[in-house]
Amino acid sequence: MPTFLTDSERQTIQSRLATGDQLLAKFADALRQRVAERVGWGGLLGPESTTAWYYPAAEFLSDAAMHQALWPDKAVANWIKTVTLDICRKPTYDWVGPAFRDHSEPFTGHLETAHLCWGVAAAIDLAVEVFSGDEQTEIRLALTGKGLQLCQRWAQKNSHLANW
């Protein structure tokens, strides 16, 4: 059972949409439009993107995964699978973040690392069915080895609070 959306929550959303909840319908339509646009890009970033790939990863993957959980769709499933595996297959160095982050070894996570964890975790939680068993294992290994481990190192090195 997913962590980010329970079966009861899914049923409530679908029921309220079916009975004409106008406020919820606005949010659902906005989600559908955002996801459709991004799926049309074929990858994580669109043709007019001006930001590095790790910044929108959490938002874009979690949007698509929520869409998939509520309204399963082959094109969305393929986009989630492609983008998630692309991120997971990037070297640990890339998970550290942009060039201004400390990339000395052992690598330490930062805000960007946490955002990658969030996006990948949402994808495997809300859209697990789009991944084969081997892909699920690969994703979990990337989350623990490239994501969580780096974030734990940050927590061990720092005593201040961060916004992630």
Burial zone of 31 (CB within 10 Å; 0-12 exposed, 13-18 middle, 19+ buried)? middle
Q: Where in the chain are the domains? A: 7-157
> For residue 144, what pLDDT band results from cuts at 50, 70 and 90?
very high
| CB burial string 119-149: b at 16+ within 10 A, e below | bbbbbbbbbeebbeeebeebbeebbeebbbb
In this structure, what token pair is assigned to residue 20? 């004409």
pLDDT digits (tens, 9 = 90+) for 1-46: 678 999 999 999 999 999 999 999 999 999 999 999 999 999 999 9
Q: For residue 118, what are the contacts with CB-CB under 8 A and spacing of at least 6?
A: 57, 58, 62
Neighbour tally for 93: CB within 10 Å: 11
Phi-psi region of 79 (alpha: psi -120 to 50; beta: other; left: phi over 0): alpha
> For residue 161, what pLDDT band results from cuts at 50, 70 and 90?
confident
pLDDT digits (tens, 9 = 90+) for 145-158: 999 999 999 999 98
pLDDT at residue number 158: 86
